[in-house]
Amino acid sequence: MTDRHSTETAVSQSSPHAEGKSTPENEKATPAHNGNKELKISGDGNIQVSTLDKNALYDPRQESFLTRLGLNLESFKRAPGTTAGHHVVGAADLEAPVDSTMLQQKLKARHLSMIGVGGSIGTGLFIGSGSALADGGPAGIMIAWIIMGLMLLCVVTAMGEMAIMYPVSGGFFTLVGRFVDDNVALANGWLYWFQWAITLPLELTAAGFVIQFWDDQKTINIAVWISIIFAIVLILNLFGTLGFAEEEYWSAVLKLVTIGIFIIAAIVFVCGGGPSGGEFGSYYGARNWHDPGAFANGFKGVCAVFVTAAFSFAGTELVGIAATEHPNPYKAMPGAIKMTFWRIVVVFWLSLFMVTLVVKYDDPRLLGGSDDANASPFVIAFRDAGVSGLPDLVNATVLVSIVSIAMASVYAGSRVLMSLAEQRMAPRCFAYVDKAGRPLWAVVSVLIWFPLAYINLASVGDQVFTWLLAASGLATIFSWLSISIAHIRFRMAWKAQGHSVDELPFHSIGGIWGSVFAATILILVLVAQFYVAVWPIGDAGTPGERAESFFQAYLAVPIAIGLVIVGYAVLRTKPKKLHEIDLVTGRKCHFSAEELNAKRAEKRQWPIGKKILHWLFL
């Protein structure tokens, strides 16, 4: 057959998510169900097959503007069907089973790109890096963040490789169930949801403390600030996916601008260009690496920093979950994944290197606490330089970052719980999606945890909160580990079922060996966490206090194992053999190896500038 076949539904032509007419470079098809078929011949000679099942498809454009926006009572009613908003590219098999999510594809490419480059930047970088510097020293913090960054690049590109092929509801969690085991998916999904449910009140409390940066006398009770921040989060969530996406976009812009200002200012400070009355009025150089030194607590300090670095990257996997709500992951996801690369290299590696040059690891202000903006090395550097105004900018950015993480908590937790419900691993009520595209009860399941932010203000509440955090503390590590294992199994099944790697439109860094590397590093991080939990830095405290510290650090491990056991007792499933793994359902990219290799050959003929631009950003 000389002409390439493509599929295109009647809904994709009229859907608000469609991006123009189908072209040879970007074939579109979104058959949610195999209904009545209609053959058409396009202007370029390609055969197009339209499929339409009016009983299963839902066009949100039929609703009023306020309904689509989620601002009236009608918007809370159940959506009558899927919008079938995903574009399928390549020669799709019309008889193959499909997987059409009930979520609406409202995200734009700019949203995914900013989630990739700015998502998860929060207190872990702006404040948590201070305690990491105190524990590991300049060399320790760079070693840990570089290794964890390389690991995460492998994880994110592996997730991107799978998500472009299968932009299914629930993102990586659903793919773990398909490629690894449903029991692991159940345990991972519930632990991941619980992590974000606990993160919401934690971030609300942190926001209150950060605001007190401008209120030294604490004239206003912190509970007032918690209530105001929660009201903002609640209002933004009324807008559903667009509320989250726009908030993420503009908060990412602010975070990147602030970090850019810090990097430029730090370079000036190191060269001695700071105000004459400050610390950096003369050439400063790399003296902090010599005095007090490169390492703070030797090997143990580096191990402690590894754990902190891992948690600072938490939320990076959100771009894989968000792929479900973009109409064409084939086009948008590669750029978003590459933005993650720039976030790791510029935002984390470069900014932290500049931190090590301008802040000493033995500065007592670094131990101010995880919620105290005064403990931020970014704030400390500007204050030591004698620059006014910029510490306030950093604190404002931290506050916006906290709101961003709170929004991400609701978004990620609700999408995973909805997917659990769709696969009958959670009550079916959580699969409810309204006409505005919100998984309504799944969103509520995260929001109802916000009162814990007030409990945390009491001394006894602090203990309760600490143990709740301990129960979900390693969920991010488990998620990344499961993504790596799922990718290994996907590649093995892909080969076992006669497919070529050339059929994949996007390739992860290092392929299957990149995921092996990532899984190995993550297991070593768990070992490091165990080591630091048993023998903490300083070996301070009574045996009872050390035992309590250990269980707080490692409580998530027995809980995860217990969830896997419960999953097996309920689901009674076992890992599938490679030839039994489903590589068809939900697949949205059907280009042949010949077609993709032809595209790659064409790109190799591009001018060098265009190739570099595409490799770095597109």
Pick from 339, 325, 335, 275: nearest CA to 83: 325
* 266: in domain: yes
Residue range 563-572, pLDDT digits in tens: 888 888 888 8
Per-position DSSP letters for 161-207, written without gaps between them: HHHHH---TTTHHHHHHHHT-HHHHHHHHHHHHHHHHHHHHHHHHHH
The reported pLDDT for the residue numbered 33 is 38
For residue 363, the enclosing domain spans 109-587
Rounded to the nearest 10 degrees, the angle between the axes of helix 593-604 and helix 608-617 is 130
20 and 168 within one domain: no
* Contact assessment for residue 410 and residue 447, using Cβ atoms and an 8 Å cutoff: yes
Domain identity same for 456 and 386? yes
* pLDDT at position 3 over 70: no
Greater pLDDT, 122 or 77: 77
Structure tokens given for 361: 């690891």
Q: What is the pLDDT of residues 378-403, one digit of tens each?
A: 999 999 999 888 999 999 999 999 99
* The two three-digit tokens of residue 443, written as one number: 């969103």
Task: Say which amino acid occupies 232.
Answer: I
Of 38, 68, 100, which residue sits at a domain end?
100
Whole-angstrom distance, CA of residue 504 vs CA of residue 417:
29
Let me know whether 274 and 355 are in one domain. Answer: yes
What are the DSSP calls for 208-267, one per residue? HHHHGGG-TT--S-HHHHHHHHHHHHHHHHHTTHHHHHHHHHHHHHHHHHHHHHHHHHHH
Q: Is residue 9 pLDDT above 50, yes or no?
A: no
pLDDT score for 6: 37
* pLDDT cut 90: percent of the chain above it: 44
Query: Which of the listed residues 31, 66, 100 is the one where a domain comes to its end?
Result: 100
Tell me the sheet residues that pair with 57. 82
How would you write 480-500 as a 3-class SS string? HHHHHHHHHHHHHHHHHCCCC
Euclidean distance between CA atoms 22 and 44, whole angstroms: 10
Rg (CA), the chain: 25
DSSP state, 343?
I
User: pLDDT tens, 524-556?
Assistant: 999 988 888 888 877 666 777 778 778 878 888
Q: What is the pLDDT of residue 219?
A: 86
222 vs 16, more confident: 222
Mean pLDDT of the chain: 83
- Indicate if the pLDDT at residue 137 is higher than 90: yes
The torsion angles phi and psi of 212, rounded to 5 degrees, stand at: -65, -5
In a domain, 608, yes or no: no
Give CA–CA dist 8/585, Å, rounded: 17
**pLDDT score for 98:** 53
- For residues 191 and 563, what is the distance between their CA atoms, to the nearest angstrom? 8
Assign 99 to helix, strand or coil.
Answer: coil
Same domain, 87 and 130: no
Q: What does pTM read for this prediction?
A: 0.85
pLDDT at residue 39 in the model: 35
Q: Is residue 580 part of a domain?
A: yes
d(Cα 192, Cα 188) in Å, to the nearest integer?
Answer: 6
- Same-domain status, 93 and 119: no
Task: Specify if 604 maps to a domain.
Answer: no
Q: Would you say residue 96 has pLDDT above 80?
A: no
Which one has a higher pLDDT value, 461 or 16? 461
Residue 602 has φ and ψ, to the nearest 5°, of: -65, -40
Same domain flag for 294 and 380: yes
503: CB partners within 8 A, 6+ apart: 494, 591, 592, 593, 596
Number of domains in the chain: 2
User: How many CB atoms sit inside 10 A of residue 496's CB?
Assistant: 14
Q: Do the domain assignments include residue 617?
A: no
Choose from 108-117, 299-308, 416-425 the range with maximum mean pLDDT. 416-425
Establish if 606 belongs to a structural domain. Answer: no
Over range 196-224, report the average pLDDT: 88
* Same domain membership, residue 116 and residue 70: no
Helix, strand, coil percentages (3-state) for the chain, rounded to 5, are 65, 5, 30
254 and 368 co-located in one domain: yes
What CATH number is attached to the domain comprising 529?
Answer: 1.20.1740.10
Q: Identify whether residues 271 and 132 lie together within a single domain.
A: yes
The secondary structure of 54-83, three-state, reads CCCECCHHHCCHHHHHCCCHHHHCECCCEC
Whole-number pLDDT of residue 567: 84
Q: Is the pLDDT of residue 51 over 80?
A: no
For residue 91, name the pLDDT band (cuts at 50, 70, 90). low
Q: Are residues 275 and 151 in the same domain?
A: yes
> Of 52, 70, 100, at which residue does a domain stop?
100
Average confidence (pLDDT) over 220-225: 91
Nearest 5°: the CA angle 403, 418, 239 is: 45
Q: Which amino acid is at 341?
A: F
When pLDDT is cut at 50, 70 and 90, the band that residue 375 belongs to is confident
Task: Answer whether 264's CB lies under 8 Å from 390's CB.
Answer: no
User: Within this chain, do residues 545 and 429 fall inside the same structural domain, yes or no?
Assistant: yes
Q: Which of 174, 353, 143 is nearest to 259 (CA)?
A: 353
How many whole angstroms separate alpha carbon 72 and alpha carbon 33? Answer: 30
* Position 602 in a domain: no
Query: 2-6, 82-86, 592-596, 610-614: lowest mean pLDDT where?
Result: 2-6
Tens-digit pLDDT profile for residues 298-355? 888 898 898 888 888 888 888 888 888 888 888 888 888 888 888 888 889 999 999 9
> Which residue do the tokens 């919008």 mark?
83
Are 96 and 144 contained in the same domain? no
* Start-end of H helices in 497-535: 511-534
The predicted structure's pLDDT at residue 547: 80
The percentage of the chain sitting over the pLDDT mark of 70, rounded to a whole number, equals 87
Higher pLDDT among residues 456 and 318, named by residue: 318
Q: Is 594 inside a domain boundary? A: no
| CB-CB neighbours of 327 under 10 Å | 26
- Ranking 43-47, 315-319, 602-606 by mean pLDDT, the lowest is 43-47
